[in-house]
Structure 1
Amino acid sequence: MGASFVFCSDPLDPRRVDPHFAREAQAVRDAGGRVCLVDHDALLAGDAAGAVARVPRDAGPVRYRGWMVPSAGYAALAGALAARGAALLTSPDAYRRAHELPGWYEVFEAVTPRSVWLPAEPGRAPAPQELAAAVAPLGGGPAVVKDYVKSRKHEWREACWVPELSDTRALSRVVERFVELQEDHLAGGVVVRAFEPFTDGGEARVWWADGEPVLVTAHPDTPGARPDPGPALDALRPLVAALGCPFVTTDTALRTDGVWRVVEVGDGQVSGLPGSADPEGLIKSLMQNATGQYSSAHAAWRADFAARTAAR
């Protein structure tokens, strides 16, 4: 039996894969892999053991491909799978590091918009004076608001865009609305990022398995607009290696001055594959890199990065 993948099940029929991931599951089967099912709704409800009840015992190393899970929920998923003899190739620590901006920001700081963040609980926005102190290192100018994982860019004017950071009242108003709209889904806290202008249609998602780029796609929001040529991957390879996570995505965008920037890093297990992309190549690459280990070169890159950051 080939590598095993854990997919979200269909909420209307728990015996089959969620239709959103059906193409990927078929690619796994075509490549000789095993498809297992997890109940995403049960997982979010706190019933991790019930969520994995359909996963065969002693499935061995597995990759998750499904809807986003909060970091605490992913840790619960890992524990429930381990109890059934299945080991997620991405550990809970690695998942959090790639999934949440505070985990990946330092590694990618030179190639991503400047950012600050404040921990916050659902329904409780930071006070205006806290926000003013937090954003001081960014100076003035426009910015965008998000949480540790996602923004509300579709409510751009009311819950994302801040025209001028020195206007604390406006900043606080946007943050409060963002926290209100996120409700219980607020992830970690509030992030404020310096605004950088990007070209229309100039965004590409790069998929990395064990530190190597295995696929470049459009962003799911613009599936028919993959830029060609895309970002220079050699510049990103040592950064992905330094992050030290087995399966990640980097969302890159072309700034209006012609410079490619990383706008988001994510855990590849919960990153959306655009409908315009053929999943076969991605699945085969993941099956070939099913060890969760890095080469000696990647280990050297990570050790060098750790030494440089420790010396700051």
Structure 2
Amino acid sequence: MSDVRPAPSTQLLFPCDPLNRRVADEAYAEEFDAARAAGFACSLFSFEDFEAGQFKTQPALCGGVKVLYRGWMLTPDSYARLHDATAEHGCAMATSPTQYRHCHYLPEWYALCKEFTPETVIVARDADFAAAVDGRNWPAYFVKDYVKSLTTQRGSVAATPQEIADVVGLIETYRGAVEGGVCIRKFEQLQADSEERYFVLHGQAHGRDGSAPELVHEIARRIESPFFSVDVVASSRGELRLIELGDGQVSDRKQWPVGRFMAMLDGTQG
């Protein structure tokens, strides 16, 4: 009987170190090493060159494989360029640009999971924010763009409708731009340190301890994407609440041990 493992159907793509293209970027080095040890075919590419319009992998991508990216967050337009670049090498991204956008932008998934997540008003960057929430009488307002909130010490919570514009301005200052538009979310009392990240791979929910709550399984049934993350947190009453979805390719493992994460991904192998 042969001991040779079948050729993989999935190839992982990581960003390389900006100063040494033969090694993975420091932020992904542990995962890159673990992926190779688990038998995955892995390639590196220069994220900086890609942003400048050039795409070259080392080693070259294997024609006909599905490519699973593990790296820095991309805008939907940049992800579409990555999708097109891999197609030129005879490969296909495991996640389509439409699926990437579906999990990356809050307005794309909000209606499908509305009852599990804080009530949200979605407006343009130049909207009258106070008018948009007029009459809602929320205890406070959690403000973010389509992707991220303000992570400085100031935080992303506005105590009054008039403060919403201040938070949006700071998001623009610290992140360079507001991506997509503005999401104003009803502030809910949540239990500190109760946030947990789960992943959904090909419709199956996974947790770092080997299990996932029913809420995550239900979300897995509603979202059309092969690989995405689900962040949940306990409310002050002990109810699990959905805080965020994200494309799995650009989602940190957070508390997941790298071995457990690779064991989950190993289900992509043919």
Identify whether the pair has TM-score above 0.5, normalized to the shorter chain: yes
Within 5 Å, give how 1:80-159 maps onto structure 2.
80-120=85-125, 126-127=126-127, 130-136=128-134, 138-156=136-154
What's 2:172 paired with? 179
State the alpha-carbon separation in 1 of the partners of residues 25 and 131 from structure 2.
Answer: 44
State the alpha-carbon separation in 1 of the partners of residues 40 and 167 from structure 2.
Answer: 46
State the alpha-carbon separation in 2 of the partners of residues 288 and 232 from structure 1.
Answer: 17
Query: Are residues 137 and 28 of structure 1, via their aligned partners in 2, closer, same or farther at CA, if it must alter by over 3 Å?
Result: farther
State the superposition RMSD in angstroms. Answer: 2.2
State the alpha-carbon separation in 2 of the partners of residues 239 and 136 from structure 1.
Answer: 30
> Contact between 1:5 and 1:65, CA under 8 Å: does it hold in 2?
yes
Query: Are residues 137 and 280 of structure 1, via their aligned partners in 2, closer, same or farther at CA, if it must alter by over 3 Å?
Result: farther
Alignment partner for residue 237 of structure 1, among 211, 217, 242? 217
Give, as a single letter, the amino acid of the residue that structure 2 aligns with 1:108: C
Give, as a single letter, the amino acid of the residue that structure 1 aligns with 2:246: G
SS of equivalent residue, structure 2 residue 194:
strand
- 1:61-103 C-alpha deviation (Å, 9 max, x unpaired): 1100011111110000000010011211000000010111011
Alignment partner for residue 285 of structure 1, among 259, 264, 269? 264
State the alpha-carbon separation in 2 of the partners of residues 95 and 134 from structure 1.
Answer: 28
Alignment partner for residue 188 of structure 1, among 176, 180, 188? 180
What's 1:52 paired with? 56
Gaps of 5+ in 2: 1-6
Is the aligned partner of 1:35 residue 2:31?
A: no
Is the aligned partner of 1:23 residue 2:21?
A: no
The CA deviation at 1:290 is 5.1
> Contact between 2:205 and 2:220, CA under 8 Å: does it hold in 1?
no
The CA deviation at 1:181 is 2.5
Query: Are residues 17 and 138 of structure 1, via their aligned partners in 2, closer, same or farther at CA, if it must alter by over 3 Å?
Result: farther
The CA deviation at 1:139 is 3.6
SS of equivalent residue, structure 1 residue 202:
coil
> Contact between 2:43 and 2:57, CA under 8 Å: does it hold in 1?
no
SS of equivalent residue, structure 2 residue 149:
coil
Within 5 Å, give how 1:197-276 maps onto structure 2.
197-216=189-208, 233-274=213-254, 276=255
> Contact between 1:147 and 1:188, CA under 8 Å: does it hold in 2?
yes
Question: Which structure carries more helix by proportion?
Answer: 1
State the alpha-carbon separation in 2 of the partners of residues 137 and 187 from structure 1.
Answer: 27
Give, as a single letter, the amino acid of the residue that structure 2 aligns with 1:30: A
> Contact between 1:61 and 1:290, CA under 8 Å: does it hold in 2?
no
Percent of pairs with identical residues = 30
The CA deviation at 1:175 is 2.2
Aligned length: 262
Query: Are residues 151 and 93 of structure 1, via their aligned partners in 2, closer, same or farther at CA, if it must alter by over 3 Å?
Result: same
Query: Are residues 137 and 115 of structure 1, via their aligned partners in 2, closer, same or farther at CA, if it must alter by over 3 Å?
Result: farther
> So what's the TM-score if we normalise by structure 1?
0.77
> So what's the TM-score if we normalise by structure 2?
0.89
